[in-house]
Amino acid sequence: MRTYKELNPQEQEQAQSRCLELVLREVTYDPHVVDDELAKKVELAYERAESMQTPWFAGEYIMDTCEVELKALALEHAQQALYPSRGEFVVYL
């Protein structure tokens, strides 16, 4: 297993991107998984999407509103994760 620091720059970018996708999906379905201030911003962005009758664009509204915070959270998650090398098996519990 490798740590974030052991990844090359391209892999680090991929890890951050994947973590951002996961964080965005998580806060879209449950904004209370983050701190209260960010949760309020997420809820307002979601309400904006609803008011425009375009709930399928909620992710874009949330990113427009909270991009800096979500990218920071994604980077934190990426840095804490472990990454398997080729041939290593991962067992998810």
Residue 70 placed within a domain: yes
Residue 75 placed within a domain: yes
Residue 53 placed within a domain: yes
Residue 90 placed within a domain: no
- Report which of residues 93 and 15 the model is more confident about: 15
The CA angle 57-62-63, to the nearest 5 degrees, is 100
Residue 1 placed within a domain: no
Query: What is the C-alpha separation between 75 and 58, in angstroms, rounded?
Result: 22
- The total domain count for the chain is 1
| pLDDT at residue 46, as a whole number | 87
Residue 24 placed within a domain: yes
Residues 23/73, Cβ–Cβ less than 8 Å: yes
How sure is the predictor about 35, in pLDDT bands with cuts at 50, 70 and 90?
A: confident
What predicted TM-score, i.e. pTM, was given to this entire model?
0.83
* Segments of the chain assigned E as strands: 2-3, 82-83
Give residue 53's region: left, alpha or beta (phi > 0; psi -120 to 50). Answer: left
Q: Domain residues for 19?
A: 6-83
Tokens of 54: 């375009």
- Summarised one tens digit per residue, pLDDT across range 42-84 is 889 989 988 989 888 888 999 999 999 999 999 999 999 999 9
Residue 15 placed within a domain: yes
